[in-house]
Structure 1
Amino acid sequence: MTKHHGAPANPKKGKLRQDRKLHRGHFAFMRALAQGLDERASWDRYLRLEGEHTDLRTVRRTIAWIRDEFAAAAKREHKPGTARLILLDPDRFASAPTLPSLAEFAAAQGLEDFSEAEQIEAYEAAYPTGGRGGRSGARPSRRARVIDHQLQALRWLEGLVVQDPRPSDSVAAWLNPSLAARLERAGVPTLVDLVDRVNGIGARWWVRVPGVGELKAARILDWLHANEQVLGLRVGPHVARPRAQLTRTALAAVVPAASALRPYEKFLLPPELDGSAGRFRAPRQKCLLTAANDHQAIGAWLAAQRSGGAEGDLSSTQRSYRKEAERLLLWSILERKKALSSLAEEDVIAYRSFLADPPPMWRGPRHHQRWSPMWRPLEGPLKPAALRQSQIILKSLFAFLTSQGYLMGNPFAAVALPTNPQRPLRSNRTLSFAQWNHIDAQLQEHADTETGRRLRRAVRWLHATGLRLAEITNVKCEDLEPIDYRIADGEAATDWMLHVVGKGGGKRQVPVPAKLVDELGDELARHGFARQVDAVSNRGIYVMARFNAELEWPASWSASGLSQAIKAFLARVAEGLNEVDAQQLKKASTHWLRHSRGSDALQVREGQTPIPIQGSAETTLGHAQIGTPSKYLATKRDERLSAMQGA
């Protein structure tokens, strides 16, 4: 079999390949080499997943491993001769000389004017074993015979050892060892895990796998597509397009509805457990709901929490309520094997224990969205405060169903709430003036791209306004209003007020620095919109808009996307700070910016006028009671204690 670049017989990294399996591509590539086909083209056609053909080290190691595996398989079948044959290099044997054609012979011998019969007679006299034309009776050379025997041996061996990949196979069995090792370190040990990861994240699934870039990811996808039928695993069409280009309909199609771990909207109730015959169902004639089963009853409860907004869009309260009802419904059906409307007091106690220690299959990172097959209802065990909140919400659910005549009673009413843990005042969940100055300086140096400017806009607006994450992602240009007023010395000034709809539909006005509104105007103009932010033509454009050229109209930055981007940015800018400040920034989140707004309002910098507590609570932060932001005063506590100690 043809050598390639002086391939060694025993690769040094053979141990990395001991679990690898031979596939049809290995045999096709080696047949191509044996027949003298172009090596690089054959590599790209059959073994592209292994790496670039220009990486000679990988090519040598791969060919050596294939040859050794072929020979070892032949020996296991007690075919030592075949094993030796496969390792033979046909180039060691001379090829049969190439004979001239009859016309070429005649021209060389000056026989052009002779008859064809005379030319043939002379040709056969010159090449007695060649036959007419020098080819029909030619005896194959030893090299040709070796190649032919090798091809026969490869066909025999392929039928003997080639396997099709299976979902449970390790990635190391089929992929390049170094590539497989990187996937395994990233938590992707099997082929089914690989397909789940690809489908679960989408086009840029490889970003979270260190050492795997876009090129290697493309090779992996090519291999998965080529083996889709034998694997029985399908990479969804959504993976071929960036997340920003996918519609809700396209994302909804990624995971089918089923009676399995699915979000509420995709969870199918088994007919025998749908609650239509639930143990505690009230008489139908007394029910005020049209719900025929437990899933629909939960939907009616969620709809009753609606406080406004577009149809189909859930408020933050509704999302929180859905999360708790969803978890209970899934647990009731999949773990307890009971309809939701059949749950009793003992089930409530068992569910609370479940939440305190859920099985691994129920857990997953928060950043996996509801459309993803990697979505899970829980991140991990719930802390006491979260357990208490969960029980309060579910108690409210069953109270609603009871009041509407759907159920006869509330199993949560008889179970005591978990002890309310004493929570700290969280005075440390704020940014100091020095930390904010550092962040703002880093924002100044951030990349001048649409993404970079959007991040800068988000951080500064959150810090300046104290808005909640759900609020900042929902405000639009028309929510901004210019206000003319006079400052203390009587001089006229113009600033902006932002009209915000907050928790429970409460409305408030929040002052916004004119500089931030000007920067937003610059961004609008940069993308072809009116420079004046409150222009009629800008109605419907979100303040946190993503000005993506591929979108017909700028969409709002999602709350989860904004949160992740800011958290990643704060972690990056933490580098180079002292240990205490660095740890603070690495733990910081968008809500810290809101806390910092309240703290700054009460502490103020030297030479600034403090904002009254009443104004900070009700106008800016949206708290209903003055006592809520008083926790920000705790940032002064240590200073007062230090002063007292010094005295």
Structure 2
Amino acid sequence: MRASPSRKLQRAHFAFMRGLLQGLDERELWNRYLRSEGEPTDRRVVRQTIAWIRDEFAAAAQREDRPGTARLVRLDPERFSMRQQTLPSLEEFALERGLEDFSEAEQAEAYADAYPDAGAGSSRRGVRPPKRARVIARQLEALRWLESHVAQHPRPADSVAAWLNPAVAERLQRSGLATLSALAAHINASGARWWRPVPGVGALKAARVVAWLQAQEGSTGLRLGAHALSPRKQVPAAVLDRAVAPGTALLPWEKFRVPVDLDGSLGQFRAPAGRCLLVAENDYEAIAAWLTAKAGSAQAGGLSATRRAYRKEAERLMLWSVLVRRKPISSLAAEDAVAYRAFLADPPLEWCGPRHQQRWSIHWRPLEGPMSPTAQRHAMTVLRGLFGFLIAQGYLLNNPFAAMTPAPASPPVGSNRILTLAQWNWLATRLEASSDTAASRRSARALHWLYATGLRISEIAAARCGHVERFDLIDEEGTLRTGWLLHVAGKGRRTRQVPVPPELVAELHQELDRNGQVPDVSSPRHAALSILGRFDAIDAFASPVSVSGLAKAIKRRLDHAANGLPDKDAVHLRKASAHWLRNSHGAHVLQGRAGRAAVPLQVVQNNLG
């Protein structure tokens, strides 16, 4: 086994080898002591690991100036016979060697010289233990001595290469997880799927690493939180809430604590208390009231998209005002607003992080990086609205963002963010040729429904089979046909009905049938079933589709579909997102296409909501 020269012997190695010498089951020993090395069914790994342990035992004995012990631990007891050897009695030995006239003490000394491994009293019994048993006994004694001298306990600053499977350790190191403390911190910050950004480490290897870290908690003091030991959906909200303590630092809105001297209770631009229509006593409570007023229609299991977007802008301003500007929000002036926009254009690195980091994680950051001019204008518009609300409610006297450059007129819907018909046809062809797995069919279904209906991603994620309604119509030729409508709850809780192509419903029926469900979207038992859910999952009827997870799956499919396109088209498709499909729907149905007439503007407006 190729191992790092810094890899250390732990007590589990000694326990495993002692069990082998005593004839215990190898697989059971492996699962108990060395599961982190790999699966016991992988004979190559097991044999290589045993050989490496023997080599390390011998090297350790050499370092302790015990060459005899080094040779002993390399011996394989299987080479020696288990048959017992009959020894001559002391009297027989004396007659054979002509020592009958010597004293018994002298005879015994000669006997011991002739049979040094016989042991005390063997000359009386006349039986010598099997050589294999003698070797095993001496090896066990050697291992006890070695363990007391060379076995070590892991420490937080130790390299992962010192304790973990070499191949796994190398992959962790390449991902920046070089020490046990760094690894534990990453797991606690990322949760049960901590292994996703580590190439070559999957769920099985990750589970072995976690089990080893838990077993070594007494030595390392590195504790893995309960939130990191189960899939995210199985972790109670209260457990996640304890993952990061509240404080005055770069923390999300719900964790951020404003110091009393900066909470705005005595803000420079606070209106007289008698004029205030809010019960808020400080800036945090006043902004919370604004967020509640902007709540919108909540999605299943979370906040509405509107409230999340507004909260993001409010928490960024709150963090900047308190941590950077050292002023209450109710003391911000026009000069502060200009400085804040400049900050958004060039934020410090410590304020930035990947979008996918969860709000409960210590890796969460308020920004992804410098904001584009368009994003800056959006932020200024939202904040202008926030301060306008606070002034209207008699909480503030001043709107520092009122003088900021207003946002330019909105460009045409979907401008430069649509797929051409050729690009969509290419994408549709790639979807048809994709692998026939449940996950692949599910993401393809999402793309087809988004393009065909023009729904927002949050709307399609919330769509259930019970929202699909069948109706009959008579076409221009007098033929009775079946049509389908999807009832959608859009922004502002406004509802609308969007037509669904019959082929999409037929495909939905096929997928239900494939998974042992009644192949009819109108079946009452399917009323709560998500259109884009897992039809094979036991909890499919209760688990909503995650908007962020759906967006990532769609993005992956778009990126993959770009392969094989000309450079310009490939770049365009890789920039695309779920919202581009909504824009493409509007553009394509308005202009019509081969075999399909253009759809009236009023119908398109209704579809898009």
- Per the shorter chain, which TM-score range? 0.7 to 0.9
- Which of 117, 139, 155 is matched with 2:148 structurally? 155
Question: Residue in 1 aligned with 2:209?
Answer: 220
Choose from 180, 185, 197 the match for 2:174.
Answer: 185
Structure 1 match to 2:538: 550
- Cα pair 2:471 2:484 within 8 Å, conserved: yes
Name structure 1 gaps, 5 residues minimum.
1-10, 75-80, 110-120, 623-647
1:471 aligns with 2:459: yes
Over the residues paired in the alignment, what is the CA RMSD in angstroms? 4.5
Aligned length: 580
- TM-superposed CA distance for 1:514, in Å, is 1.9
Q: 1:410-461 CA deviation, whole Å, 9 max, x = no partner?
A: 33334x2388599898655333334333433343344555434432321111
Q: Provide closer, same or farther for how the CA distance between residues 541 and 47 of structure 1 changes in structure 2, counting only shifts above 3 A.
A: closer
Q: Distance in 2 between matches of 1:547 and 1:255?
A: 35
State the alpha-carbon separation in 1 of the partners of residues 56 and 368 from structure 2: 43
**478, 482, 489: which is aligned to 2:470?**
482
Aligned counterpart, 1:89: 72
- Evaluate the alpha carbon distance shift between residue 63 and residue 280 of structure 1 in structure 2; reply closer, same or farther with a 3 A threshold: farther
Distance 1:188-1:378 versus aligned 2 partners, 3 A rule: farther
Q: Distance in 2 between matches of 1:393 and 1:233?
A: 43
Q: Are residue 439 (structure 1) and residue 427 (structure 2) matched?
A: yes
SS in 2 for 1:205: coil
Cα pair distance change 1:294/1:523, threshold 3 Å: farther
- CA displacement at 1:207 relative to structure 2: 3.5
Shift of residue 610, structure 1, vs aligned partner = 1.5
Partner of 1:642: none
Shift of 1:469: 0.8
Structure 2 counterpart of 1:472, one-letter code: I
SS of structure 2 residue aligned to 1:508 = strand
The CA distance in 2 between the partners of 1:141 and 1:534, in whole Å, is 77
Between the aligned partners of 1:215 and 1:290, the Cα distance in structure 2 is 53
Rounded to whole Å, the distance in 2 between the matches of 1:249 and 1:450 is: 33
Distance, in Å, in 2 between the alignment partners of 1:424 and 1:64 is 72
Question: What residue in structure 2 maps to residue 410 of structure 1?
Answer: 399
Separation of aligned partners in 1, 2:76 and 2:197? 51
The corresponding residue for 1:598 is 586
- Specify which of 157, 160, 164 is matched with residue 171 of structure 1: 160
| Higher mean C-alpha deviation, range 446-455 or range 390-399 | 446-455
Percent identical residues: 45
Q: Equivalents in 2 of 1:170, 1:255: separation in Å? A: 26
Write the deviation string for residues 330-372 of structure 1: whole angstroms up to 9, x where unpaired: 3333444444334444443333333223333332222233344
CA distance, structure 2, for counterparts of residue 367 and residue 614 of structure 1: 37
1:205 equivalent in alignment to 2:194: yes
Determine which of 23, 36, 49 is the counterpart of 1:49.
36
1:585 aligned partner:
573
Change (3 A) 1:491 1:28: closer
Q: How does 1:557-636 map to 2 (within 5 A)?
A: 557-616=545-604, 618-622=605-609
Residue by residue, what CA displacement relative to the aligned partner does 1:547-603 show, whole Å, maximum 9, x if unpaired? 353317343311111111111122233334444444443333212211221232133
Contact 1:435 1:581 in 2 (8 A): yes
In the TM superposition, residue 405 of structure 1 has moved relative to its aligned partner by 2.7
Counterpart check, 1:363 vs 2:352: yes
* Structure 1 stretch displaced more, 126-135 or 400-409: 126-135
Shift in Å, 1:321: 0.3
User: For residue 149 of structure 2, what is the amino acid of its counterpart?
Assistant: W
Identify the residue that residue 323 of structure 1 maps to in structure 2.
Answer: 312
Alignment of 1:290-329 (within 5 A): 290-309=279-298, 313-329=302-318
Mapped partners of 1:91, 1:455: distance in 2: 56
Does structure 2 conserve the Cα–Cα contact (< 8 Å) formed by 1:99 and 1:134? no
Residue matched to 1:501: 489
Q: Distance in 1 between matches of 2:358 and 2:195?
A: 17
The TM-score normalised by the length of structure 2 is 0.79
Q: State which drifts further: 418-427 or 469-478.
A: 418-427
Name 1:341's counterpart in structure 2: 330
Equivalent position amino acid for 1:156 in 2? H
SS of 1:208's partner is: coil
Q: How far does residue 499 in structure 1 lie from its aligned partner after superposition? A: 3.1
Match of 1:518 in 2: 506
Asked whether the 8 Å contact 1:501–1:507 carries over to 2, the reply is yes
Query: What's the offset of the Cα at 1:463?
Result: 0.9
Question: 1: distance between equivalents of 2:290 and 2:57?
Answer: 63
Counterpart of 1:556, as a letter, is P
Q: Is the deviation greater in 391-400 or in 502-511? A: 502-511
* Counterpart for residue 397 of structure 1: 386
TM-fit CA distance, 1:225:
0.8
241-250 or 256-265: bigger deviation? 241-250
**Structure 1 residues 348, 85: closer, same or farther in 2, change over 3 A?**
farther
Q: Given that residues 26 and 66 in structure 1 are in contact (C-alpha distance below 8 angstroms), is that contact kept between their aligned partners in structure 2?
A: no
Where 2:177 maps in the other structure, the secondary structure is coil
Q: For residues 37-186 of structure 1, what are the structure 2 equivalents within 5 Å?
A: 45-51=32-38, 54-55=44-45, 56-57=47-48, 59-61=50-52, 64=55, 68=59, 81=65, 84=67, 87-89=70-72, 131-132=120-121, 148=141, 151-152=144-145, 154-158=147-151, 162=152, 164-166=154-156, 169-186=158-175
TM superposition shift of 1:466: 1.1
Distance in 2, Cα, partners of 1:296 & 1:510: 40
Q: Look up the equivalent residue of 1:49 and give its one-letter code.
A: S
Shift of 1:67: 5.1
**Letter of the 1:480 counterpart:** V
**Aligned residue identity for 2:155:** P
Per the alignment, do residues 51 and 556 of structure 1 end up closer, same or farther by CA in structure 2, a change over 3 Å counting?
A: closer
Return the alpha-carbon distance in structure 1 between the equivalents of residues 75 and 181 of structure 2.
Answer: 45
Q: Secondary structure at the match of 1:564?
A: helix
**Contact 1:521–1:532 under 8 Å retained in 2:** yes
Which structure 2 segments of 5+ residues have no match? 94-104, 113-117
* CA distance in structure 1 between the aligned counterparts of 2:469 and 2:204, rounded to whole angstroms: 49
For 1:49 and 1:535, how far apart are their aligned partners in 2? 48
> Deviation of residue 249 (structure 1)?
5.1
Say if 1:469 and 1:99 are closer, same or farther in 2 by CA, change over 3 A: closer
- 2:363 matched residue in structure 1: 374
- Residue type of the alignment partner of 2:588: D
Check whether the contact 2:451–2:585 (CA below 8 A) recurs between aligned residues: yes
1:288 CA drift (Å): 1.7
CA contact (8 A) 2:592 2:598 kept: yes
